[in-house]
Amino acid sequence: MESGSADGTNMRDTILVTGGCGFIGSNFILQRMQADATSVVNLDKLTYAGNPRNLESIANNGRYEFVHGDIGDRTAVRQLLTRHEPRAIVHFAAESHVDRSIHGPDDFIRTNVDGTFALLEEARAYWSGFPEQDRQRFRFLHVSTDEVYGSLGPNDPPFRETTQYAPNSPYAASKAASDHLVRAYHHTYGLPTLTTNCSNNYGPFQFPEKLIPLMILHARDGKPLPVYGDGKNVRDWLYVEDHCEAIAAVLRNGRASETYNIGGWNEKPNIEIVETVCDLLDEMTPSGKDSRRSLITFVKDRPGHDRRYAMDGRKIERELGWKPKETFESGIRKTVRWYLEHEEWVRDVTSGGYRQWIAMHYSS
Ligand code: NAD
Ligand code: DAU
């Protein structure tokens, strides 16, 4: 290992990010590259959701390296850890779309459960070889979701870090399983882990199978806007850059073994989100015809659709001083504008596999 780092340990200022070509991972890497002098190694399998173009602007930066690979490939992970000697692993890589997990859960178990297990095993072996002072400083930060807590009734208090797990979809169950593994690796082996559970993100680079980008692009193109069930399911929405700052704060100052809930204090029913997107498009690109709201179409509900999520973010605010900066009004406006201004990115991701998915999923 190199010696003489600023914090007096032998560790390099490198972090290994998994899944950094996805929506949140790429926002996180772009933000970190601007914010400090950390070097980033990005391990990504480039599934349909991974897009290296998200990181085009830093592709030639000497502090950034992309490695195409699977978190489940233990030899590849071992070699990466040995070569780059990161001081932390920030683990985003996952299958992340609930509807896809309902159609085909296999990949969710493979990546989210088996993949996280493989990564933890390699992290443990790597970390076990450290001198004592470095062992305390290493961090394995696992990025997880509010969906592990299940569904709330209209008057239930928001999820806290102590809320009992009750995952309802194969996606949520696979994330819950990975959270439990992370917890066990701290409890049993002492691996310095951190877990963040976050609510729904929105913003640039989100793959347009998720509610907000899907609605923006369909509304732009005058296509039907498929709202599941009665449209009254509630999510708590957080602008992606706020989430990335929260992860950075947890990585910097979070207490090893702790979990932190991250939310936007911004609960909204889906129908309200869709109407807001319609109104913004009417304003930014007037169609001269009916309001885009006329495109709203209620469709068959998602099986097992969780009714409401809400996050209690008081712990991270109290302990780490983090709270969201962006309001929903400013964040959604920026997001709609971003999709309208990034036509080439949209064309790139909406080719091939994406079209097949839309055709299969919405055919009924
Ligand atoms: P995403 O689907 O946009 O990106 C996932 C990335 O992981 C892609 O780049 C993909 O290529 C990569 N990947 C998938 N399997 C891999 C494997 N086996 N090995 C290496 N790379 C692999 O996901 P996202 O929305 O950016 O979510 C990132 C993380 O944050 C996930 O763990 C998700 O559970 C969690 N999360 C997401 C949200 C949200 O609203 N999107 C909210 C809370 C938590
Ligand atoms: O809560 C955090 C989770 O948020 C993350 O862990 C997941 O990775 C992320 O995908 C997201 O899950 P959701 O299922 O909440 O997100 P999605 O965008 O798929 O759906 C949001 C809500 O909108 C949900 O109630 C279902 C509804 N919906 C979604 C789509 C795609 C529709 O009504 N119509 C649609 O076409």
Q: What number does the ligand 1 atom closest to the CA of 201 have?
A: 40
For 202-227, the pLDDT digits (tens) are 999 999 999 999 999 999 999 999 99
For 282-336, the pLDDT digits (tens) are 999 998 778 999 999 999 999 999 999 999 999 999 999 999 999 999 999 999 9
Residues in the chain: 364
Pairwise CA distance, residues 99 & 81, whole Å? 34
- Annotated catalytic residue: which of 171, 202, 260, 309? 171
Does the structure show a pLDDT above 90 at 355?
A: no
Q: What number does the ligand 1 atom closest to the CA of 43 have?
A: 20
Does the structure show a pLDDT above 60 at 136?
A: yes
Percentage with pLDDT > 90 across the chain:
88
Q: Find, among 303, 356, 363, 322, the residue nearest to 101 by Cα.
A: 303
- First-to-final CA distance of the chain: 57
pLDDT at residue 3, rounded to an integer? 33
* Fold of the domain spanning 14-200+240-263+305-325: Rossmann fold (3.40.50)
Does the structure show a pLDDT above 50 at 33?
A: yes
Does the structure show a pLDDT above 70 at 161?
A: yes
- 46-55, 105-114, 303-312: segment of lowest average pLDDT: 46-55
Report pTM.
0.96
Name the residue at shortest CA distance from atom 28 of ligand 1: 92
pLDDT at residue 123, rounded to an integer? 98
Does the structure show a pLDDT above 60 at 4?
A: no
Catalytic annotation on 122?
no
Residue 268 Cα distances to 25, 82, 224, 272, 312, angstroms: 25, 45, 21, 7, 15
Which residue among 102, 211, 335 has the greatest number of ligand 2 atoms within 8 angstroms of its CB, and so is best to mutate?
A: 211
- For residue 194, report the phi and psi dihedrals to the nearest 5 degrees: -140, 140
Rounded distance from Cα 99 to ligand 2 centre (Å): 8
- In the structure, which protein residues have their CB atom closer than 6 angstroms to any atom of ligand 2? 96-98, 145-147, 199-200, 210-211, 214, 226-228, 233, 235, 270, 302, 309
Rounded distance from Cα 162 to ligand 1 centre (Å): 24
pLDDT at residue 63, rounded to an integer? 96
Pairwise CA distance, residues 237 & 268, whole Å? 8
Q: What number does the ligand 2 atom closest to the CA of 198 have?
A: 2
Percentage with pLDDT > 70 across the chain:
95
Domain boundary assignment for the chain: 14-200+240-263+305-325
pLDDT at residue 360, rounded to an integer? 78
- Annotated catalytic residue: which of 95, 122, 147, 242? 147
